[in-house]
Structure 1
Amino acid sequence: MGATTEDGDPLALALFGLTAVSGLIDAVSYLGLSHVFAANMTGNVVVIGFALAGAPGFSVLGSLISLAAFLLGAALAGRLTLHRLRPALAAETLLHLAAAAAAFAFGTGGALQYGVIALLAVAMGLRNATVRSLGVPDLTTTVLTMTLTGLASETRLAGRHSPHQRRRVLAALTMTAGTVPGALLVLHHHLPWALVLAAVLTAATAVFYRDRV
């Protein structure tokens, strides 16, 4: 299925939307929750190294909680949502709303932030495992390293051509498009509303997504 998914296909459009949500979520978690990543687990591994080396402002505990929660979400996807995007989107929406409700009710200071981190990372793990099972090239929705590698290595300058170049550019742009409002809301002390926005965008993606027949 993934190899024949065109950029205008409903599945590809849904994954572009989720890529924007990932940018938003990582902006919230990194800028507002002790420099922890809820979507990009590579970042957490690096952050743990920073913290162990004594760099200030990084949380080993927060990153470990995010990693554990992400793995839990991925394991749940293995039982519940593999190859089925809409149930994964519904679950992700509910988890974003739960994180927003917790942030509104209790704040994100001190140990309270770890509950919000866990909810977001579970959502991202569940979604990542589901998206991985769909196998759409260059649309993982959370990691751009290999996407950008393909963008640079499969060009006329490199003597190669790929039909996925537009997709790779759009993936980078959509993640940036999600990161900007997330960062603005956090920097202006509206972190819970950023999580509401993530829930709204995920729910909208679920509403407009239609499986191919």
Structure 2
Amino acid sequence: MPTPADQPTAKSTLLPCLLLLLSATTGLVDAASVLGLGKVFTANMTGNVVFLGFAAAGTPGFKVIPSVLALLAFMGGAWGAGHLARAHADRPLGRWLMWAAVVEAGLLWIAAAIALDVDVAAQASKAAVMGVIALTGFAMGLRNATVRQLKVPDLTTTVLTLTITGIAADQTAGRTPNFARRIGAVLSIFAGAAIGALLLMHGGLALPLALAGAIVLGATLVFLSDPAAAAPHRP
């Protein structure tokens, strides 16, 4: 039997589409962070823990401070998302997601504005680099904690390890449950990363961040037309 918290997502037709678009923005943000800010992830914390291990071993090119900053900012965003969710308990699901989207998009756009001062090739303006890491890390922590509470299978918007595992491990009689959704999640992050890399190489660091913010806000606005958006949010 579905729990009350699961009922809005089960009836939604647009929520999976929203999460696939948010998955694409993960690729955009990680392209900006890994390619534009040095070896650091601001959406994928597993990568940062691995990078910290490399840095601890003295591997050239890996630094402790950026990864630690990204981790702390991410945790701060997740903490904020938890408070935001509880503040919207029993209120419309769409209102909660809209507030989360406004905050996330705003942080990404501020990061994009700061990124205009970052020389990607030289990694110049250390303060600006750290500012972009902190802002995008906080935004993605907020996103992860919010999506986590939605409990939509195979659509975490940031992590693909279990999704890819499920594609192969859950196959029965030549079919895989949620195959289209799982493949869609993989392709969304792939497309976001590819587009983010192209935008960064040809237009600068600010472009993928600005586009990510626009997609987050625009996709959430479209979701408000779904009847599920009016259902009460029960964390």
Q: Calculate the TM-score normalised by the size of structure 2.
A: 0.83
Alignment of 1:33-72 (within 5 A): 33-72=37-76
Letter of the aligned partner of 1:111 in structure 2?
Answer: A
Structure 2: 5+ residue runs without aligned partners? 87-92, 231-235
8 A Cα contact 2:33 2:133, kept in partner: yes
Measured at CA, do residues 155 and 3 of structure 1 come closer, stay the same or move farther in structure 2, by a change above 3 Å?
farther
8 A Cα contact 1:3 1:137, kept in partner: no
Letter of the aligned partner of 2:50 in structure 1?
Answer: V
User: For 1:139, what is the secondary structure of its paired residue?
Assistant: coil
User: For 2:34, what is the secondary structure of its paired residue?
Assistant: helix
Letter of the aligned partner of 1:94 in structure 2?
Answer: G
Q: Number of paired residues?
A: 210
Runs of 4+ in structure 1 deviating by more than 4 angstroms, as ranges, are 1-8, 159-162
Structure 2 residue 31 is the aligned partner of structure 1 residue 17: no
Q: Calculate the TM-score normalised by the size of structure 1.
A: 0.91
Cα offset for 1:198?
Answer: 1.0
Aligned with 2:202 (options 163, 170, 188): 188
Structure 1: 5+ residue runs without aligned partners? none
8 A Cα contact 1:2 1:135, kept in partner: yes
Aligned to 2:130: 114
CA distance in structure 2 between the partners assigned to 1:3 and 1:55 by the alignment: 48
Aligned with 1:94 (options 94, 106, 126): 106
Q: Percent sequence identity over matched residues? A: 46
CA distance in structure 2 between the partners assigned to 1:146 and 1:7 by the alignment: 24
| Mean Cα deviation higher: 110-119 or 60-69 | 110-119
8 A Cα contact 2:108 2:209, kept in partner: yes
Measured at CA, do residues 3 and 176 of structure 1 come closer, stay the same or move farther in structure 2, by a change above 3 Å?
farther
Aligned to 2:90: none
Aligned to 1:146: 162
Measured at CA, do residues 101 and 182 of structure 1 come closer, stay the same or move farther in structure 2, by a change above 3 Å?
same
User: For 1:36, what is the secondary structure of its paired residue?
Assistant: coil
Structure 2 residue 222 is the aligned partner of structure 1 residue 199: no
Measured at CA, do residues 36 and 80 of structure 1 come closer, stay the same or move farther in structure 2, by a change above 3 Å?
same
CA distance in structure 2 between the partners assigned to 1:4 and 1:168 by the alignment: 20
Deviations 1:44-81 (CA, angstroms, capped at 9, x unpaired): 00011111112222221000000000000000001113
Aligned with 1:30 (options 20, 23, 34): 34
Q: Please report the RMSD computed on the Cα atoms of aligned residues, expressed in angstroms.
A: 2.1
8 A Cα contact 1:3 1:135, kept in partner: no
Structure 2 residue 223 is the aligned partner of structure 1 residue 209: yes
